[in-house]
Amino acid sequence: MDYAEISDKLVKYLELRSEPVAVKLLKKGESIPEGYSKPEKNLRHCQSIMRARKGEAFIIPAEKHACVVGGSSLGLFPTPEKVASGEFHANLKMFENAEAAAEMIKKRPTFEPGSRIATLVSPLKAAKFEPDVVILVDRPETIYWVIPASTYSGGGRANFSSAAFQATCADSTLLPILTGEINLSLGCYGCRRSTDIEKDEMLLGIPFNKLKVIVEALEKLHAGPMAKARKK
């Protein structure tokens, strides 16, 4: 697959304001591709996504992940007790009590602790690795068109899962990998506090093995339904 060509088509058909982002979770024993540097300062997964959509690329090993919530969900290290118990998120005043926060953590998607050693993040057009997922960050109208593209051939409905936290790690990275389906998020407290995501932007993760089919459907939608809907 020509990543640059696929990326250019996504930008063209969806009128994306920033680059599609390729993400790979490196497993134990997998070789690290050459040409990727570690960030100077520790980064949250959400921060790496927002920087990659503007052209940067990173290899981020477990010890360079700044967010223990996201990193533990991604399988880079164990979940800290304060996170698992709900104490961490309850202290942020986003839940009535620690029990409610713990229920969110209990139901989040995760990989086995230590099963992943690093994240690779890059603009899709420049990726030198096969991604697990491709993430888009843009306006609701832009993101919307991926839904009809995903149901173009098989019909049916698209189902989404989200929470008050972990928009990029759990919602946009892990769930598409685990379910094999697109998943969207309105954003979360963490990414809205720690990155430059705009108030009118949201996220969507596309499993890499579905990307080609979705882009082909977008190409068919672009000249017809999409053009008519966007005339206003």
Percent of the chain with pLDDT over 70: 100
Question: Which amino acid is located at 186 in the chain?
Answer: L
* 71/77 Cα distance (integer angstroms): 7
Cβ distance 118 to 111 under 8 Å? Answer: no
pLDDT at 232: 61
pLDDT at 192: 95
Residue 27: pLDDT over 80: yes
Question: What are 37-41's contacts with CB under 8 Å, separation 24+?
Answer: 38/64, 39/64, 41/66
Cα 220–chain centre separation:
25
Query: What residues form DSSP beta bridges with 122?
Result: 22
* 57/127 Cα distance (integer angstroms): 8
pLDDT at 135: 98
Map tokens 């409905």 to a residue.
157
Q: pLDDT digit string (tens) for 114-173?
A: 999 999 999 999 999 999 999 999 999 999 999 999 999 999 999 999 999 999 999 999
Closest by Cα among 6, 48, 2 to 194: 48
Residues 6 or more apart in contact with residue 195 via CB below 8 angstroms: 44, 46, 47, 49, 50
* 104/69 Cα distance (integer angstroms): 12
Q: How confident is the model at residue 79 (pLDDT cuts 50, 70, 90)?
A: very high
Q: pLDDT digit string (tens) for 53-77?
A: 999 999 999 999 999 999 999 999 9
pLDDT at 224: 92
Q: Whole-prediction pTM value?
A: 0.95
The per-residue pLDDT of the chain, averaged, comes to 96
Question: What are 151-160's contacts with CB under 8 Å, separation 24+?
Answer: 152/217, 152/220, 152/221, 153/213, 153/217, 158/182, 160/184, 160/185
